[in-house]
Structure formats: structure tokens, C-alpha cells
A and B are shown apart, each in its own frame.
Chain A
């Protein structure tokens, strides 16, 4: 029912693409990250909580319809529904059913709850499309409580030693889960504009994320022992100097590897990811009961081979345009 084309994953029967990377007529978007939500589509369909993000990032004038989780619509005989992916707020797996054949496009997902997004729900299907960003047995993420406790501990220690703490994280998703878990007793929280914009979009829809946007006029003397949350793009700008003396930490699944940690050049690396680690991936794939697995961006060759070898699944790798960039914060 689905085909992998040079524009993205295509359903001919319903004439729609999922997360297409070139302009098409109809697009279902799994979530708001820029490698999934691109501009130029005539019609967008996404989860209710992703809508404000698409408007923020792709323009207020886009033609977008939204769906809550687990509500089925039908297009030319194809039953379509969205299901929680647990990746970020509003992230969805797309389930498509036609004449009894069921496909699930999972987009990005994780199994460990982050306390914010609706937790991942396995969906039974015949064909399952999965990413494999951390699809190697070296990736076994620590529990998130443990990580958040050490982030707060780090902040506290820095504040006591007269340093500001700068957390580098993806503006959409990771930043919000971190903000949600910061201990506000420790000090003030400041935000980069990119993070503040995403927060505003969410806050208008009933969320409540802490933190003050740091405007260019803001007096740096007011910032002491504080926590600053910013995407990596701000690191090479003068903006970041406002917070000196400061220590910086990167929050990413890549921080699991010592080499990546050291190469990143920051003071600390916290292993915190919105993707599945090795055991989560295996658990998720098996839970779908699918016989046919399509492995996309990440370690697709290796992970597909593992699924064939170990679980006798019909797993194939789908070549994407690029090899994974190792410094990716996603």
C-alpha cells in the first residue's frame, strides 16, 4: 500500500505522503521537527498539538487540518488514524488500513515516558516503518529520573560556585521536557528566543513552561547562578557571552559515547534522548507483531540485519538521503 519514493513515503490509494521532503499535494506530518515537517505542501494533516508548531514554523497561512489520537478518518477507502509516538508533544504514528492490510509509519518515537508527551502506544500491524537512530546495542539509556536528578545537581553545584549553567538542547521537544523537570527552587531560568517561541506556541494551548526570554537589552548582571536553555545554534554567537562565567552541557543520546562527549567541547554531556535506545527499539518492533519491517534513518543496515537474524523478521533497510550526522541533537 505504501511506496518509498524520492519525495517520501507515498500512499497511492489515498494520494498522500507521510513526512515528504519535497512539495506535494497532501501530507501527513508525524511531528514538528524540521526533518519531518517541511514547507510547500498544499494540505497538511497532523495531530492537534502539532498544529500550533506547524503554524509557527511553516507559516500561519498554511492549510492544515488536525486529528486527535485514535480517531479514524477515511480517504478513498483507506482508514487513517494517529497514535501516540511518545517522541515529543503531539508526535504521532500514522496507521493506514486498506482492504485488511495495515501499515504503521512511526516517525520518531520512544518508549520511556518523558512526563509531557502522551506515552507511546504499540499498534498491531503487518508492515512497520521504524527509524534506527540509536539502533546499536551500545545505546542503553539511563532512566530519565536519574538524568534529571543529575542535571539539577549540576545546576546547583554550578550556582554554588558562581557559574551560570547553559543547557544545549533541541528547541522543540527536548527543551520542554528539560524545563518541565528543572527544580525552580535552584534559581532563575532563561531561554533562547527559539525555545521561547516554541514555549509560547504550547503555552497558548494550555501548557505552562517556565523561563524568561533573554532579550538583547537584558542586563547581564541580573543573570547569576541561573539556568539557560538554548539550541546549539546560539553557541557561536555573542549572545551566549551574556552568561559568562558559565558551564555548558549537552543533552543528547549521542552523549552515551565518550568520544562524542569529548568532541562536543562542552563541560558535561547528559544522556537524554527522545529516540529509542536499543532495547526500546526491539521491544517496539516486536510489540507491533509486524512481519515486515522497514528500517530508516540511523543504523538501518545493521539494525535490519539484526531483525532478520535474531527474530526472523522480513526486515529491509530503506536508504535515506544522508548518513546520520553524529553531532545531531535530535
Chain B
């Protein structure tokens, strides 16, 4: 655990990606062989099962530190992170002990079935043999909310460097579910042995948000311009008479989407399609919310299948007749895709239409009104582009429409977690309902660090009431809140629920009276749904 703790610390201490990659390479070079595969698993975001309740951990820690529970709670609120609060409050260790990462993870999984008193004794024994930082990492593993602060892409980069392999091949091996107890570094990455993993998707190529004037992209004729639909990005794979549907989050969703079952026989073996899976009826997409409830369900009733049938709007083909097409130009891939879709007669697969624009200004106009066309913006893809891996600048851009916005009054504040512990960073905003302010959105992103500090200071001095960690503040400041979608929600006082609300800016030029009203929200809702 010492080496792994050092790796965590090194990653945590820097914001520079090359230093993070170097820290991982150093770790892989020096760590115990049997630990490495477990480290990979944790680095890419797999978490051990939680063997104890956090309330139990809290009690044991407070007892060991001889602190009353109220003081423990106060301190926890300042730290904002349970694992860290416990690590800091425990008494100094009284012995030393070396446990490998693998041993530690085994220890945690064995713990689950032990009697409570034994769990307690074991955990206390561990605590009392570790320094603060190792305790912290250990607690993070126990509480199951462990995040290493590296993207999967960076882990892939580090592994590629350490193993001297291509990033794409590492990415490919890491897809899907695998069990670190059943694998070794060799079985995972030695190549040959894993040709039989034919259920695996290709690593997704993700578009970069467009941050410049599209005119800088050059001649518009060099680009495919498609609608950006708001569904689930996925790959449909048919190999050896078997069908697999993967989401971009690398979840295997085949069972959730029975609509696609027939593709198993209607598509030729060795076909991989990339597109957006979306509920679709009468020639147009249905709201995202329908998709979400659909995915949340364990069993899908025939009624639901009829009300919200899914299709894939396909925009790329990565494999055909067993041949990997990713290095071919997009224009060639689209030609093949056209053929495949044309042959397909069940209306489960639609073609993502390449729209005809003569000039970038027209594109800009379409984007501004994208919502009128049932999409959230545009995709711009260079006709000559290969299918790359990960999110990259250059050949694929997404250009989303401007979000909807509402001016709301800051009503409640709560301290943040992790990086923002001890600062009020989670805010609740309200609109007017007559002369009453009703909350309509929670948001915790969009302000600069400087603004957060100023606001934090103001909140501390203008608190009206405290409810646990939440403070109600004097209604004084107005913020412009942006969001992606709006749905009716009788559960909320405002009558609506927003998708992805965030703070666009602090409207210091507006007074509380200028904030929007509940009625404004309801009108927006009506406009969106009509």
C-alpha cells in the first residue's frame, strides 16, 4: 500500500497531465508484479465493494480518537470528506506493517462477511499501523468513493508507455468488464491470447467542443455537418452471429434494447456501427427523459416498447465483413454505411443525414435554432478523417446550441466537497412566485475561484439560518442559470426540473426584483414541449 499511496499522492499533487502519466509509469516500473493489475483496475475507476457502513466507520474512528460524536461531525463538515476527516483525527500509529495493494483489496473483500466486532477490530488494527496519507487512501477504498484523479485516457497513455504498446491496443484490452483476480498483466496485455474477445467495441472517438469561429475550419465542402442528437452514444456489434450493444460509458446494454435483437441475423457478421441510440416515433426523436426512464427500468413492458421504441441513428461504420475500417477516410466509411442502411429494411437503423449547407453563416443560423429541429446542436466532421480514439481536437467537433437561461436569486448555500470543502460552493436558486421565492435549481459550477471566494465570504456574513450544513442567505444576489432541458415536475415547488443547470454568470447588474418568475419557467416549458 505504501507504493500505491505514493502513486495516489503524486497524482493528487499535480494538475499537469504529463506528471500524472510519469507517476503512473514510475509506479508500474517499480511496483510488485501482482499489485499492478489491481492498480490498473482502480486507476480506471473500478471500486471495491463497501464492506462496512460509513456510520460504523465514523463511530469507530470517534471512539478510537476519544472524541464526542458532535465534534467529529463538526470537523467532518470542515473537511468535507469522510475518509480524510477520519485519517486526520485518528491518534498516531503505534506499529508498522507492510500490506500489498492486492492483500489490502483481498482484506476488504473478506471483511464483508465477517461479524461486526471482527470488522471493527481489523479496521482499527489497520488504522493504527498506517500513516495519515495511507489511512486516507485506505479509507477511500473502504468507503467506495475512490477517485484517482486521472482519466482513463491517461491510464492508457501510461500503460502504453510502460508496456511499449500502441495506445489503441491498450484501450481495446481495457474495454468492458474484467476481473483483476482472474487476470494478470500478461493475460490482459500480452496481445494474442485475447483475439477471442470478439464482443468488444472499438474505443470511441469523441468530438471536441468547438471553441473557435467555424470559419477557421476552412472550406465547408471538406466537412460533413450532422445534427447532434441527444440520446445515448453507442456501438452495435454483430460478430459470430452474436449481437452486442455498448454505450460510450462501456456498459453492455444489449439486454436493455430488445428492439435490436433482429439485427443479429439481418446484419452480416463482422459489422460494427457507431451512432446515437434514441427513442423515435413518427419521424422524430422523443425527449431524453423518456430514454432515461427506459434505461432505469429492469423489465420493459410491451406497452413501453411501443410507446418509446428505440432506433440507432448511425453516423459511422467501423468494421464491415470483419475488416477494420477505422483508418479509411470518413467519406469512404459513409459510402459503405449508406449501403448497409439501404439494405436494412426494419427501420431500426437510420442514417444520420449529412446536411447541405453552402456557407458557415447558414450553419451558425441552424445551430442557434437547433432546438426547433429536435437536436442540441451540430457535429462537424472532416470528410478525410480517420476514426481516432478518445477525445481529440482537429477532425471531429461538436457545436452545441446556446443553453436556455433564467435569472435566479441565491437562496441557500452548502459547503462543497473535496477540493471545495470548507467553502460554500453548492447553491440553490429561486424564482418569484407572486412575492414568494421558490427554489428551482441547484448548481455548483460556473463561477471562478475568485467569485467563489467573494461569495463564500458574503454568505458567511449574510446567513439567516442554518440547517445542518445548509445555510439560508439574504436574497440579494442574482445569477444567470443556464440549462439544457426543462421538464414538468409536480414534486418541485417551481413545477419544473432542469437538466444540467449551471451558473452562467453573476448578474451584479440586476437586483432581486429583476429575477425571473415561476410563470416564465412554465412558459419556457410550454414552448419547449409544443
Contact = CB atoms under 8 A, between A and B. Distances in A.
A326 B68 contact: no
Nearest to A325: B457
B71 A327 contact: no
B289 to A, nearest CB: 34
Interface in A249-268: 256-260, 262-263, 265, 267-268
Nearest to A326: B422
B171 interface: no
Contacts of A136: 71, 74-75, 78
A326 B423 contact: yes
A288 interface: no
A256 B88 CA distance: 9
B58 to A, nearest CB: 13
B419 A137 contact: no
Given A257-B422, A302-B71, A138 B85 contact: yes
Interface string A235-249: 000000000000000
A258 B68 CA distance: 24
Contacts of A265: 449
A297 B85 CA distance: 22
Contacts of B422: 257, 259-260, 326
A309 B422 CA distance: 25
A262 B419 contact: yes
Contacts of B136: 258
A67 to B, nearest CB: 37
A265 B450 CA distance: 12
Nearest to A254: B422
Nearest to B67: A137
Contacts of A267: 13-14
A262 to B, nearest CB: 4
A310 B79 CA distance: 22
Contacts of A144: none
Given A138-B75, A138-B79, A302-B71, A263 B420 contact: yes
Nearest to B463: A323
Interface string B408-428: 000000001111111100000
Contacts of B85: 138
Contacts of A259: 79-81, 416-423
A299 B79 CA distance: 13
A309 B449 CA distance: 38
A318 B412 CA distance: 27
Interface in B419-463: 419-423, 449, 453, 456-457, 460-461
A305 B74 CA distance: 12
Nearest to A257: B79
Nearest to B421: A259
B89 interface: yes
Contacts of A268: 13
Contact of B418 (A140, A258, A305): A258
A258 B71 contact: no
Contacts of A305: 70-71
B465 interface: no
Contacts of A202: none
A306 interface: yes
A305 B75 CA distance: 13
Interface string A127-139: 0000000001111
Given A256-B88, A262-B419, A137 B65 contact: yes
Interface string A74-100: 000000000000000000000000000
B75 A137 contact: yes
Contacts of A263: 419-420, 423, 449
A138 B85 CA distance: 6
Give the interface residue-count category, chain A: 20 to 34
Contacts of B88: 137-140, 256-257
A139 B88 CA distance: 7
Interface string B62-94: 000101101110110011110011001100000
Contacts of A327: 453
A314 B200 CA distance: 68
Contacts of A306: 68, 71
Question: B12, B72, B422, B423: which has the most chain A beta carbons within 10 Å?
Answer: B422
Interface string A287-330: 00000000000010010011001100000000000010111000
B74 A257 contact: no
Contacts of B80: 259
Contact of A137 (B89, B417, B457): B89
Contact of A309 (B68, B457, B460): B68
Contacts of A140: 88
Contacts of B72: 137
Nearest to B62: A137
A226 B246 CA distance: 53
B382 to A, nearest CB: 36
Contacts of A326: 422-423, 456
Contacts of A137: 65, 67, 71-72, 75, 88-89
A235 to B, nearest CB: 13
A74 B530 CA distance: 86
Contacts of A299: 74, 78
Contacts of B79: 138, 257, 259
A138 B72 CA distance: 9
Nearest to A262: B419
Nearest to B70: A305
Given A258-B418, A260-B422, A263-B420, A138 B89 contact: yes
Given A137-B71, A262-B419, A257 B449 contact: no
B415 to A, nearest CB: 10
Contact of A302 (B74, B81, B461): B74
A138 B71 CA distance: 10
Nearest to A327: B453
Nearest to A265: B449
Interface of A: 136-140, 256-260, 262-263, 265, 267-268, 299, 302, 305-306, 309-310, 323, 325-327
15 contacts: A136-B75, A137-B65, A138-B85, A139-B88, A257-B422, A258-B136, A258-B418, A259-B80, A259-B419, A259-B420, A259-B422, A299-B78, A302-B74, A309-B68, A327-B453
Given A257-B79, A310-B68, 20 more contacts: A136-B74, A136-B75, A137-B65, A138-B75, A138-B85, A138-B88, A257-B84, A257-B88, A259-B79, A259-B420, A259-B422, A260-B421, A260-B422, A262-B418, A265-B449, A267-B13, A267-B14, A268-B13, A299-B78, A326-B422
The 3 A-B pairs at the shortest CB distance, nearest first, are namely: A259-B421, A138-B88, A262-B419
